[in-house]
Structure 1
């Protein structure tokens, strides 16, 4: 299957013939190896002798006549194991080998199964967090409009209860972004009704004075202010009959919006690591945007572009995340929805690295009507916890990500017949490794199927997306890793009735699949969806502040779009091909030194020199590789664009920079920011600002 899939994926490429030869030889090699598992008869022994000879001949033929292919290490059976290659059938290219193809932008397709990446990838299995099922459950009662907490009778038979079981629950109360309080532990037997003030609880059970159970439950209780807002908006819709459905006599509820985000998963790694999820999206008429290009380095600026339309610099000016109360001033997209009669929710796992909290001040007030952070703060402190690659994995009876997905499911179920905006983001199964997220593949398909069965998809536009690809690690230094990091996954779901009433939206998304698109476009699309409610005019919602030429994705974007048109710096732009050049040339060496000087100056002058004395100046150690962009019609003839991968001392830091070199006046411009390619935790703890942290090597580390 792996060989067949690889040939299908690359059948039209110039390398197809060579690849077919490689696959044929590899298949022969694997068949030879498999013969070793037959019975030890003389006939098999003879076959083995022939197999060894065939193996040697095949290897010699490869190595000397064709050239040693990247995958040739026949003893590395894990890398060749068919389970690692699960085919995904789709058609995402504009023309052969390109996701976007125009005079202004040509984004190359990336082979998900390229050997330089697959040697580091291994599919992982999902492992339940506990052997026993949870002892307690919570369920919303429609009649009482409250949640009931109850002991699961069937599950209780599997716990060592002794003579008597004693259970109680504590309500989690938010103090601020990093602190929570707990009420006294309320004792209950069998079941109990939870107060509507409880948005998260921790349950404990003991037997014979020994704790045998601790778990947590997040809830979406009734809030009077929310109910009044929803009712007022609904009554106004009915009175004015202004819902835009494309039919004058049609009356329908305004569309809800559900955003499901996964950190650090590229479009390509979604196909590689979550093939069942990707195939589900392709097979069920979700709309892919294959040319979706990030606009900055890490999560915060890319999510700010989506939720506010600001770039990093202007976000700091308008609503600085470094000041207490700064982020509360931002006009986040969920605030716009809230102001126009929607109920809102935001949830994100891994509280330490949350988008608006890592090296930032977070929110003084909860940003949305329902906010999972207080509950997860308590869960990470009190529940049984495992850690994988530095992030929480299991929290009690579920993974941290599952707590977010459960919350999303409950929020959308509770407000199924109302108008809502929900933003749900997970980090823990994807942030640090290309393989780990594969363990959630089956779960994610089941989650999406449950949304369908629940009825969520009937009146909700759903955005399944990411912020960027993997930013660190051995795969990142490859050409595949370079492109993957800049091309995150994004898919749209449109309800059936919207497809029928607005076929132009369908046509636009089909066209935009192979156009250059950005997070700023997504920001304007979410505004456009809000305007479809009839509660606000689209034009009055304003443009994306930092991308005047960006637009809603429910209309065709121009084919002749360039990165400069949509506020993407050269460093993040995937539109132009590069060719390898000598990394030891005088010009490249000089450019490398100029970039290191730029880094040192950046740190020295950062925040008015606040951190200058904390960090050791860096020096250029080696330029690992250098590339020159193919001629760009938009650039002057004497300006050349280069991409450098280099190493600095004393931090052994691997960096990637894109520079524009004017050969007439010898000026050098570093575009975007300089990317850090290897992990730097533990060496820059003296630097508390995320913008300069990746360039700092703390003085106490010297020597």
Structure 2
């Protein structure tokens, strides 16, 4: 990270004060000369009898500050009268005070610079993620050369600021819930040591709780929640097993002094029957291994190292298996999670699981459904309800998709508890961070069902989604959660997948080459319990080998199927529909694998080496215009033109950068294919886009691969469109002039 030099800082802080001092003494004769490496200051002072006396004073300094200081020390050497002596003394004191103030100001400035620099310091993480003997690459083969990125490149660090963890409240909550294994029920308890802080003087504490419930069916089933009547309690209350989540309120002297929420995982007859039935039918003597998927949105592998070094170092130091060549396969969270949970690509996912149609997601073959059908307890939790993966511009689930579903609680909590926002998202929710509810839910599942198999997905958005710096404040907290999994024995009996979906997709760092690579390379670590490593040493070997192989979300999907096979409850699994060649990560991935083999389109592939080319060339301009035509046609035809009249036709403003990769000549057809990646700006909306286009030289034909990425924020630009498919491309103009309804983009 670059900073201004200290000498420059000295001048900028002290110059105004020093200039004022010089102006006060314009009547003095001064001589200032440089000799060797020292300043010699020789003021000449005239006495009353016309004699002059000179004195030379050496100071071992070459700084501007010291030069001025030496001049001040040698001023006022006239032989004074009594009156002038008093004035001179007062003047000297005044100057001394000013100079002292300037010095303090300078020291404060330097200290601030040091504190700021230390907050952004490069905290080293010791790891061996690159190919042995190939320090600059995460993957190196004939078909894949995936570069390793420096976490601390200057263009990124100028936008990164390490942040400190701040608790959401200085107060402790008044209530808590605890599961009683004897009764099989949760108890709601008042922390007696906190009562005095929530009771008004001379008053009593009156508390009650409400059960949070899904309120309606149909299209609003995953949106609307309600509260039961408020049931009073004194010091404690045994909660019914029909209550998944509660809201607690307390009053003192008729004024509410406390409100908080508690999610739970109560025992249910259907869950217990399922577990018992599979135990009876299971011929295996050992319990099937459980699966925990712990996710953080929008964190690249490199930003995990940069922003969360303690978490990263914990993973590297404690035998977690890193998949450093893990490459995303789609733009945002939805396609990447759907590849993991269903094995579908985005096109098939929108066709078979149609998230905008009522009940379609309920019928979708999610892995949590498969695990539940084979005797596992299931859970899913995701914070920031407004942008949940299956709800943002989608209908969500008509029925709870898993046994324990946190969304109803979070909707109610976001509405009833105090909110603190950070980067536009609800960072604090009542007494704790939004993400705490997610990871506490994971701990609760693994603790409550320690003796039974379970599958859970726990996904946090709020501290990572919108800024590369935000997650740095949660570094120690995330490390502590991982330690809790170990401390509670969860790691002894569970496979844990700690991962992200992609890196930062927009923002100031995204236009750089490092930002391009970061977006495509999320982090992914796998933990194997010791017993499984001992019984299957081939799994350890495979994960060690796959560290430096090209992998993707489809592989993770096949790994989940493989884990289910290990339970003995399913036969051989079918290949992933989105990637028939993809495989479990518990077996070695072929070294010769290409992005085509892994069903990763050129636009998302990090295996292809590109070279920078002249952005003003004819072919680049042609490709830029073709890409914009692609955007215009997409919007014009989207859902039979239903949004066309709201979106302006885009045109090229400028190309910012251009790169080319040569695929080579097809020997069978003698056709040359080149791949171009360009970043360009459109008008009238100043949209910043990135496109990857395959260009066939002989036929002069072009094809957009993947989708065209939007690199700057577009929420306000596309406010007139609510469908995610067209939102990143639509520019909502104020007039009807130049709209798609009136003018369609020409075919490219």
State whether TM-score is above 0.5: yes
Alignment deviations for residues 365-405 of structure 1 (CA, whole Å, 9 cap, x no partner): 10000000000000000001112122111111011111111
SS in 1 for 2:730: coil
Which of residues 610, 615, 620 in structure 2 aligns to 1:583? 615
Q: CA deviation at 1:47?
A: 4.6
* Cα pair distance change 1:654/1:701, threshold 3 Å: farther
Q: 2:268 maps to which residue?
A: 223
For structure 2, the 5+ residue unaligned runs are 14-38, 40-56, 68-110, 216-220, 738-748
**Is the 1:579–1:630 Cα contact (8 Å) retained in structure 2?**
no
Q: 2:63 maps to which residue?
A: 49
For structure 1, the 5+ residue unaligned runs are 3-21, 54-73, 242-250
Alignment of 1:494-513 (within 5 A): 494-513=528-547
1: distance between equivalents of 2:348 and 2:380? Answer: 23
Task: Say yes or no: does 1:89 pair with 2:126.
Answer: yes
**Is the 1:205–1:214 Cα contact (8 Å) retained in structure 2?**
yes
Task: Say yes or no: does 1:168 pair with 2:208.
Answer: yes
Q: 1:288 maps to which residue?
A: 322
1: distance between equivalents of 2:590 and 2:517? Answer: 22
Q: 1:11 maps to which residue?
A: none
Q: 1:210 maps to which residue?
A: 255
* Cα pair distance change 1:212/1:51, threshold 3 Å: same
Q: CA deviation at 1:700?
A: 3.1
Q: 1:433 maps to which residue?
A: 467
Give the TM-score normalised by structure 2. Answer: 0.83
Which of residues 663, 667, 674 in structure 2 aligns to 1:640? 674
* Cα pair distance change 1:30/1:305, threshold 3 Å: farther
Whichever of the two has the greater Rg, that structure is 2
How many aligned residue pairs are there?
Answer: 643
* Cα pair distance change 1:164/1:474, threshold 3 Å: same
Q: 1:554 maps to which residue?
A: 586
SS in 2 for 1:626: strand
Alignment deviations for residues 268-308 of structure 1 (CA, whole Å, 9 cap, x no partner): 00000100000000000000000000001000000000000
Q: 2:54 maps to which residue?
A: none
1: distance between equivalents of 2:535 and 2:65? Answer: 64
Task: Say yes or no: does 1:389 pair with 2:454.
Answer: no
2: distance between equivalents of 1:620 and 1:45? Answer: 62
* Cα pair distance change 1:575/1:506, threshold 3 Å: same
Task: Say yes or no: does 1:148 pair with 2:187.
Answer: yes
Q: 1:195 maps to which residue?
A: 240
Which of residues 437, 445, 457 in structure 2 aligns to 1:403? 437
**Is the 1:170–1:186 Cα contact (8 Å) retained in structure 2?**
yes
Q: 2:28 maps to which residue?
A: none
SS in 2 for 1:638: strand
Q: CA deviation at 1:157?
A: 2.9
**Is the 2:187–2:236 Cα contact (8 Å) retained in structure 1?**
yes
Alignment of 1:533-612 (within 5 A): 533-537=567-571, 539=572, 541-612=573-644
**Is the 2:383–2:459 Cα contact (8 Å) retained in structure 1?**
yes
Task: Say yes or no: does 1:109 pair with 2:148.
Answer: yes
Alignment of 1:273-422 (within 5 A): 273-422=307-456
Give the TM-score normalised by structure 1. Answer: 0.88
SS in 1 for 2:695: strand
Q: CA deviation at 1:329?
A: 1.1
Bigger Cα displacement from structure 2, 198-207 vs 605-614: 605-614
**Is the 1:180–1:377 Cα contact (8 Å) retained in structure 2?**
yes
* Cα pair distance change 1:586/1:80, threshold 3 Å: farther
Q: CA deviation at 1:235?
A: 2.1
Alignment deviations for residues 301-356 of structure 1 (CA, whole Å, 9 cap, x no partner): 00000000001100111110010111111100001100100000000001010000
SS in 2 for 1:608: coil
**Is the 2:11–2:64 Cα contact (8 Å) retained in structure 1?**
no
* Cα pair distance change 1:35/1:200, threshold 3 Å: farther
**Is the 2:653–2:682 Cα contact (8 Å) retained in structure 1?**
yes
Bigger Cα displacement from structure 2, 78-87 vs 395-404: 78-87
**Is the 1:79–1:118 Cα contact (8 Å) retained in structure 2?**
no
Q: CA deviation at 1:84?
A: 2.9
SS in 2 for 1:566: coil
